[in-house]
Structure 1
Amino acid sequence: MPVPMKLSSTLRAVAAVALFGSQLVLAACGSTSTENDPQIPLAAFSTPINLTNQEYVALRTNNGAAYAKGGVRGLIVVRQNASTYLAFERNCPYRATDTCARVSIDPSRLFLKDACCGSQFDLQGQPQSGPAARPLRQYSTALSGSILTITN
């Protein structure tokens, strides 16, 4: 039995909407990018650091950076000014599961770099060069006196 013309056009419209909707879902779920960028695992932590300790002497000046424990592969803490500090995950967002994907403070102290993939990040965690397209994961900071607490 043939399908009436009105029903046939309705079915075509429903099929078109379903196809469009499925494409939106696929686009939202993942990227077709060739960049291999798995999620960095989440790690629950709360790391207090005493800014008067000698190991954090670099955090006594603006744009100073130092390492701290916490996160997945450690933290980099950057002082923006006397009351504002940024804390970043050392796990590079590009190919995060590679064992060598660990960001370090460049010896010039002007930027952060992952020696594994060659990506460079500014002191605000934004990618500047290399294959990484995403910024470093940033954690929350709270300053109370000379104690800076970093949490996720």
Structure 2
Amino acid sequence: MKAQEVINHILNLPQYRRAKEQTLATKALKEFLGKAKAPLVRYAYLRDNTLFVCVKAPFAAQELKHDSNIISIKNFLNMYFASKNLGFLRIENVKFFVAKNKPPKIVVRKSVLVLKEKAKGNFELRCKNPKLAQIFLDLREILRQKAKNQV
């Protein structure tokens, strides 16, 4: 509760009048819209008798841009601010815009992993099957060739 008191004290200072207007406009707008439409709004602020409302997605702006919604938002907020005697400007226009948040870019570096051959071809042949013995002999020669080329 102490932190909220500090924030309220700061918002009541004259130099933070705009921040207070923004928080009150946002809270009042979300209260008016109710549980269904309040999550569509990010924030709202007043400038030159115009309420600017930042919404989360383009469909939210479409949902709220209906004339009946705009008229009722203006009427509600004008009555709300008048009843609180806050001295805010009278709202004449309501404009909606979509927040442009770019997703963070994830850079994936592709690297080619080059491994050195650790085998040198120094092993005994204990295989009794002649086909397998031939495969192991071929493998031994390949490994010895690679070991020579790496040195």
Q: Is the TM value for this pair above 0.5? A: no
Bigger fraction of residues in helix: 2
Bigger fraction of residues in strand: 1
What TM-score do you get using the length of structure 1 for normalisation? 0.27
Query: Bigger relative contact order, structure 1 or 2, given CA contacts below 8 A and separation 6+?
Result: 1
Task: Give the structure with higher Rg (CA).
Answer: 2
What TM-score do you get using the length of structure 2 for normalisation? 0.27
